[in-house]
Amino acid sequence: MTDCLFCKIAQGEIQADVVFEDGDVVAFRDINPQTPVHVLVIPRKHIVGFSDLTEGDEWLVGKIARTAARIAEAEGVAESGYRCVVNNGPHAQQSVPHLHMHVLGGRQMSWPPG
Ligand code: 5GP
Ligand code: ZN
């Protein structure tokens, strides 16, 4: 996908504070952090959102989840707690149409979300 912000970050065309990457996923700090730790985990593959996952992507979702857990550990919030969020579509206010998992932590959060 040529005109996608997160594809460009994954390809290194747009700078980001990358905390982890491998051949499948990239994790980088959110430009507008909502919590002391706020990292986005994305697949390198362009998938618009959660609803656009197709058969064969199951392993990739597991990879994203496992990466999020490893980042929480590395960022020191695994014990205090953290939240993994995937916003999908307008009601959830997804603003970037490339699948991403937010990893949020480092302060007390409330529930339910607004
Ligand atoms: P969404 O609202 O789609 O769930 O989350 C998109 C996230 O991407 C937002 O938290 C926003 O701050 C972040 N974001 C948007 N543009 C950029 C950017 O250019 N760089 C980084 N690092 N994060 C971005
Ligand atoms: Zn993309």
Per-residue pLDDT of 75-96, as tens digits, reads: 999 999 999 999 999 999 999 9
| Closest-approaching ligand to the CA atom of 10 | 2
> What's the rounded Cα separation, in Å, for the pair 76 and 13?
29
- 111 touches ligand 1 (CB under 6 Å): no
- 2 touches ligand 1 (CB under 6 Å): no
Cα of 37 vs centre of ligand 2, distance in Å, is 23
> What's the rounded Cα separation, in Å, for the pair 64 and 26?
9
Q: How far is CA 22 from CA 17, 31, 34, 63, 111, in A?
A: 15, 21, 25, 11, 33
pTM of the model: 0.98
The average pLDDT across 6-22 equals 98
